[in-house]
Chain A
């Protein structure tokens, strides 16, 4: 046995957030904005960030209530632009990292932002399992159909024939359909939106945040540098069509949702699928609550003592 290591001491004082009798104000854009985004002028990601700020303000999320998590890619620079707790994790692994926060800190909202490469190529396995486990967090895929940060290579959502630096003759691999992927993996909230429709984007983000489970949004977010015009067909201002999902669509019908996801581009926008299922968070908390209840108020060391006594 070695000498115990001394406790870390954080610089704490008797500090209060709001003076007694005053109501705490929502965060303003000025308070929530951090670094100026490194994105190219015209990038769709600006819009996602702006509406995230708006949601934080509208929903009175203060910094101690949420975390912003990402992996690697253009869109994954996101947390640096938010003046709040966040983490810029490694490529493709933002979802398990965010799951660790979600499962150990039920008091925090966890938002994950990532690109199509991060979430569906290197992180594809994690996407499937986070969805099937129904871990409570919101995941926004800022899909631009191309690798932007590394300057125009084929992404898992690049359509066939897309000419990139890694497919100079045009992409030859069949693209992933993020909506189908999410539905079939078991995501309990699956929505589709676009950065060019701010009101819709905000609506989807708020609905996702309110969902108790794994909520997924595919947000078309154009890369003006390496895939200009990719989503014009979904943008009325560019002569395209922004079609909301049919009014009679049943969001609890998984097969109907899958059919919507099968529509040719530009497809439909809105909530494709929404199911109420116990989250992993709730199941784990339930296992723990039952075990704690069984321990009948014993202190932690006494529980361990019981185990050790059985090993004598």
Chain B
């Protein structure tokens, strides 16, 4: 918590109230305790209160049970990361308490379930301990046979009291969440919540009140990155997709399976990953851009079929919600180690587009953009998200759906003649004519994986393979020419440029803010378009003494990660090096700063 601007303390009287503009709350328990629900309610409350919010969660890869956390950072100002250290730790069990006390700021509040947690004497002086028999009080409040189910809402009541959150809005959210069910469900939820809210917090020395938000104009929607991708694809006009379940991709397919029928479409669960991309290729071939998606292992399986879409010049969107690898790896943890796979996976020279969204809002718009690039260039497009954005909840300005939603139904009216692989097009782009369209010349296109002539018929003529290879490459070069040069975050010149991609944009920017506040000469650059790269990066790099690419992947054999490898290959610039980690967790701001300082003693010299 920052800014204890206003304090009211009455000795011996009610607890003091401090004004704050942000708070980090970490809730630690087991995966079946409903702690994600607490986080979800807090996030939606923030969205409705024009606050910024970012969440972070870990879930075990077991079917049920196992330690799980949900961290939520609420702020009246800009929130760029889920926060390094918590102001409040809510611990349901001894393991929650012991494993997560280290993530609490010194002097922070640990709120624990005294029915399950035995506080350690050595930690008592360091953190403010507040024990509440959460389990028993929940059973008392709800009664009946619910056991301690509902203790998450009791705990939410405690948090609500400590942070003086808006009770009316929260209870409204419960009504929306539980209202459709048996009335007792809502009543129990309210009973547990109110019991927590009304519980005496006599031992708490301090409660907090958020300063008014900077007042974001308009309404906010609250969702996670996987929601945003699914709805972005729907807004883009995608009406068909196919996939196979895999964590953390499955949410996207579940949403599309449930939602697409409302729009006259369908999403098919396939027997395997190869069938899924093949079905999507078939639907795209048949006219409308289709989507498939997966996470690491599934993406590996799809690679041959992806090459077909490159060769046949069929538009396709492939979503990859990255997780730790290789092989089955870390199914529920984050890594950015599929970039090489996305850019280069599949045999042969197979140019495709790779874009990575930076946050939840960006997931929505990038999904639309991916569809439109695929349509315009008739090329597969990778949407490279990751487990961290997939599961984190953010609030963002409600999109203007009436303007954004597109109809991409193919036009089947007759054409005079058609060459699907016309070599006369200077940028390599040939508009598509799809099955069902009469072609009056009587010459019909064949889409194939064999190298082909301009009509799609097989040919291994040396010159033709060169021309067609160039055609497929030129499309991406044409796209690259239209891409905006990314803007530097901070001054365009200095000692150190931190380069990032994907979900790490927020913590990298926060690291820049902190470093600059301490007088360091640091800026950041976020690269969204990874293949092809946007123009003008070399000019940006030339303004800095050092360039460090911050990635959640291994430093590699030569001291830099996957994006750094691409940039070094492209710009031949030895000052590009990596800041990497592979612990399966998102970057903490302080980790980026520590790595940067340790890695290059000269890079962070004071001005």
Contacts and interface: CB of A to CB of B under 8 A. Distances in A.
A93 interface: yes
Interface stretch (A84-92, A176-184, A258-266): A84-92
B66 interface: no
Given A89-B449, A307-B259, A15 B369 contact: no
Given A10-B415, A288-B266, A89 B275 contact: no
A180 B316 CA distance: 36
A311 B308 contact: no
A304 interface: yes
A104 B289 CA distance: 11
A251 B270 CA distance: 29
A100 B401 contact: no
B530 to A, nearest CB: 14
B435 A105 contact: yes
A49 to B, nearest CB: 15
Given A15-B440, A88-B447, A93 B275 contact: yes
A294 B219 contact: no
Interface stretch (A62-70, A226-234, A269-277): A62-70
Interface stretch (B142-150, B220-228, B492-500): B220-228
Q: How many B residues are at the interface, by size bracket?
A: 35 or more
A10 B446 contact: no
Q: How many A residues are at the interface, by size bracket?
A: 35 or more
A299 B442 CA distance: 38
A12 interface: yes
A35 B305 contact: no
Interface stretch (B204-212, B370-378, B465-473, B580-588): B370-378
Given A96-B282, A100-B281, A90 B261 contact: no
Given A80-B457, A86-B447, A87-B448, A104 B262 contact: no
B270 A104 contact: no
Contacts of A69: 282
B401 to A, nearest CB: 4
A205 B365 CA distance: 47
A256 B446 CA distance: 41
Contacts of A311: 44, 221-223, 227
A96 B275 contact: yes
Interface stretch (B116-124, B129-137, B234-242): B234-242
Nearest to B436: A64
B323 interface: no
Nearest to A295: B262
Interface string A285-311: 001101110110001110111011011
A247 interface: no
27 contacts: A2-B365, A4-B372, A5-B376, A10-B411, A11-B416, A15-B413, A16-B414, A63-B442, A86-B447, A87-B447, A93-B305, A96-B275, A96-B279, A98-B282, A100-B282, A100-B286, A104-B288, A105-B286, A105-B435, A107-B436, A108-B436, A284-B266, A300-B234, A301-B401, A308-B231, A312-B221, A312-B398
